[in-house]
Amino acid sequence: MKLRALTMASPLAGLALAPTSVAAHGVDPSYLALIESGTNLDYLWLGAVHMFTGYDHILFIIGIIFFLTTVTDIVKFITAFTIGHSLTLLFGALAGITASPYLVDAVIAVSVIYKGFDNLDGFRRYLGIEAPNALVLVFGFGLVHGFGLATRIQEFPLPTESLVARIASFNVGVELGQIAALIVILTVINLWRRLPSFRRFSLASNGGLVLGGVLLLLMQMHGYLHATNPHLSGAQADVPTASPAVIAEAASDHVIGLVTGGSVAPSWADVQTAHPVKRKIGGQDVWSVRFANGPALLTLYLSADGNSLLSYREAR
């Protein structure tokens, strides 16, 4: 089986490897083919990509390790976050537990605010109280971070076959991506720590974390208040949907484009399309169009108007 994923301009597709809309936990619709039919290795790769493009994760990790100087402390805090993240990602997705992704991501934004504020010694300096147990809160926010992704991935067509193994592979990919990001972040911070500017700009850096978290919080609350369906991350109103006949013609044109570009075999150019099927994915309309060529199958995923090819899957 050969799987391909495309990212093209459309109401559904986000940036090439970036989360859709303003949500750091968004799942890019260009990966529909991999999500629906990907192998364990594909899911591992998707998890790693999510980690590298999940800016809320990155900001929170920066906050966690900013002032940590010993390997023991770094391992302790990152392990607490990883365990929390893994638990809710696995059990939330597998058990179908869900909530409004906007509200979950709003809490995740609060986690970024908390860590920056804690690094500024804000609880003692500004509130006159002792800071709460950082390890417990890091674990707790780890639970929320994992649940945030679980709510998003459930909006997409997950396979029923080997789902546990695939979700577990996705989680492993997330953790591998986290390790890679952690290595880069630690290297930069440790090099910076040796310079006089580190102490001078540490207040500004953690103030930036607080500001970034506040902006994320405001964006999520704005999305929640103005979404057509606040329980779906990408719901849009008044998106024009083409008729099946128009979609069938558009699908044939997209196949010719794939053949011309050398992405699929030339034999697909002469194959007749089957009837398009409209599906609701992530609160938005997506057309699934299947072509058959003997035992080989080519499935296209098109935007509601048929103008954009979101992704495709070629199976032999």
> Are residues 212 and 112 in contact, defined by beta-carbon separation less than 8 angstroms?
yes
Query: What residues does each domain of the chain span?
Result: 38-226, 244-315
Rounded to the nearest 10°, the torsion over CA 220, 221, 227, 233 is 30
Mean pLDDT of the chain: 84
Provide the β-strand partners of residue 303: 286
3-state secondary structure of 218: helix
pLDDT of residue 50: 84
Domain 244-315 coded CATH 3.10.450? yes
Please write the tens of the pLDDT for every residue from 186-215: 999 999 999 989 988 899 999 999 999 999
Element (H, E) at 305: none
Q: Is the pLDDT confidence value at 5 over 60?
A: no
Rounded (5°) CA angle 233-82-205: 75
Q: Is 127 exposed, middle or buried (0-12, 13-18, 19+ CB in 10 A)?
A: exposed
Give burial (CB, 10 Å; 0-12/13-18/19+) of 25.
buried
Tens digits of residue pLDDT in 25-82: 555 666 777 887 788 999 999 899 888 888 888 999 999 999 999 999 999 999 999 9
pLDDT tens profile 73-129: 999 999 999 999 999 999 998 888 888 889 999 999 999 999 999 999 999 999 999
Look at the chain and count its residues: 316
Q: 233 pLDDT band (50/70/90 cuts)?
A: low
Q: Looking at residues 217-245, what average pLDDT do you find? A: 79
Instruction: Give the pLDDT confidence score for residue 236 in this predicted structure.
Output: 54
142/88 Cα distance (integer angstroms): 8
Phi, psi of 296 (to 5 degrees): -85, 145
Tokens of 15: 């940036």
The pTM (predicted TM-score) of the whole model is 0.79
Q: CB–CB of 128/79 below 8 Å? A: no
Of 72, 167, 67, which is closest to residue 118 (Cα–Cα)?
Answer: 67
Please determine, for residue 159, whether its predicted confidence score (pLDDT) is greater than 90. no
pLDDT of residue 129: 95
C-alpha closest to that of 111 among 88, 134, 95, 86: 134
Locate all alpha helices (DSSP H) within 54-155, ordered by sequence: 55-65, 71-95, 101-119, 122-125, 134-153
Q: Which residues pair with 299 in a beta bridge?
A: 290, 313
Q: Tell me the two tokens of residue 178.
A: 């986290």
For residues 65 and 188, give the distance between their C-alpha atoms in angstroms, rounded to a whole number: 11
